[in-house]
Amino acid sequence: MAPSTGYAYAKDVYSALGVDTEAAMKRLAKVSISLHCWQGDDVGGFESAGDLSGSGLAATGNYPGKARTIDELRSDLELAYRLIPGKHRLNLHAIYGDFAGKKVERNEITVKQFQSWIDWAKSLGLGLDFNPTCFAHPKAASGFTLAHQDKAIRKFWVEHCIACRKIGAAMGKQLGSTTVTNIWIPDGMKDVPVDRLAPRERLADSLDAIFKEKINPKHHLDAVESKLFGIGSESYVVGSHEFYLGYAVQNQKLICLDAGHFHPTEMLTDKISSVLMYVPELLLHVSRGVRWDSDHVVLLDDHLRGIMEELVRGDFLERTHIGLDYFDASINRIAAWTIGTRNAIKALLLAMLEPTDDLRALENAGDNTARLALLEELKSLPFGAVWDEYCRRQDAPVGPAWLEAIRDYEKQVLSKRC
């Protein structure tokens, strides 16, 4: 099928600025984004061990049709993948194992509970990423896990994280695509603590024990994720950005930057190049906090564009693992995946359609007038026609056509879920 007239025009417009739209689309097709399984069922999982209270997490809304079983979740995901251009990944939490109705304690999980996920991912050509679930459990009821004062409780969570690393490594090896296993914990205090140091010393010791066994980086990479505050940990979070950044630099682990885990005036854009000077690779959790880490669906806004521009301008894509992290239960959950992921890809394409070398040359020459002028002119170029052509070539719906597929699925499938 020949390109549309609109794309032919857009190609010429960008070419006049030295931008090759064909090369940009080819480059974009190589980028995989990890969709987060927990958007599909409001962070419920399949072990029925507990709720989100005390974890600093909250899924708000009661839109009908959330996934209740593994089969339902996979069916919903498969629709989302069909509506999103490109080949992507899935990010799993440990509570999403295939437990077959049996109680399996978290420190005893093995690849057995995730083999069906691996087989499913292989059938679709997807990579998998993984996360220990250090919340929604009786041993996390105090709000402390890896930094808990009780040695036995710390040991339980250390064992859980070790088990998750082994599962992640098995995923990466079987799928031939490196799995990133990311550790986030809710540990913190509602009010001001007297001793801020001791919990962090315990957390460092726990992490050392978790990471003691070396794993082939072709199969598995470790990441640690900070947070500014959470519900119930407003005054003090053990795993702060400063703590994890120091730990990641010292131990050469991936640092996970979550767009919702910083002060609302802080942008990831300025953190990316600084962090990548000292750690080998980066994990991004792209989210949208509104006043707090409220995990809203990602918009094509300035923050998202800034993140993707920095990855492209700095040539950081090869060292960055991009995942999404939000859970909106107030709208159709499959639409939430689709909107957010398509926006993340749009932002990447916009960045790839920028004449970065020319802009850098203007900056280096001190011609900031021309730099600003060109950056502003780029905003009115016919990007939409290039995006539509990319979707068409990737056999994904063009424009809002994807919404009709979701409405039909909601009528035929979601509406029948109690």
Report angle CA 167, 173, 176 to the nearest 5 degrees: 130
Q: Is 379 a catalytic residue?
A: no
Q: Is 225 a catalytic residue?
A: yes
Q: Pick the catalytic residue: 222, 325, 354, 388?
A: 325
Q: Pick the catalytic residue: 47, 225, 354, 389?
A: 225
Q: Comparing C-alpha atoms, which of 398, 376, 395 is closest to residue 386?
A: 398
Q: Pick the catalytic residue: 47, 76, 295, 309?
A: 295
Q: Comparing C-alpha atoms, which of 101, 92, 85 is closest to residue 30?
A: 85
Q: Pick the catalytic residue: 76, 258, 281, 328?
A: 258
Task: Yes or no: say if 335 and 76 are a contact pair by the CB < 8 Å rule.
Answer: no
Q: Is 105 a catalytic residue?
A: no
Q: Is 12 a catalytic residue?
A: no
Q: Is 187 a catalytic residue?
A: no
Task: Yes or no: say if 110 and 167 are a contact pair by the CB < 8 Å rule.
Answer: yes
Find where tokens 């639409």 sit.
Answer: 335
Q: Pick the catalytic residue: 11, 93, 227, 296?
A: 227
Q: Is 11 a catalytic residue?
A: no
Task: Yes or no: say if 329 and 62 are a contact pair by the CB < 8 Å rule.
Answer: yes
**CA neighbours closer than 13 Å in the CB half-sphere of residue 156:** 17
- Please, which residues bridge with residue 223 across strands? 182, 254
Q: Pick the catalytic residue: 38, 120, 157, 184?
A: 184
Q: Is 258 a catalytic residue?
A: yes
Q: Pick the catalytic residue: 88, 93, 271, 285?
A: 285
Q: What's the alpha-carbon Rg for the chain, to the nearest Å? A: 22
Query: Distance between CA atoms of 85 and 399, rounded to whole angstroms?
Result: 12
Q: Is 38 a catalytic residue?
A: no
Q: Which residues are identified as catalytic?
A: 184, 225, 227, 258, 261, 285, 293, 295, 325
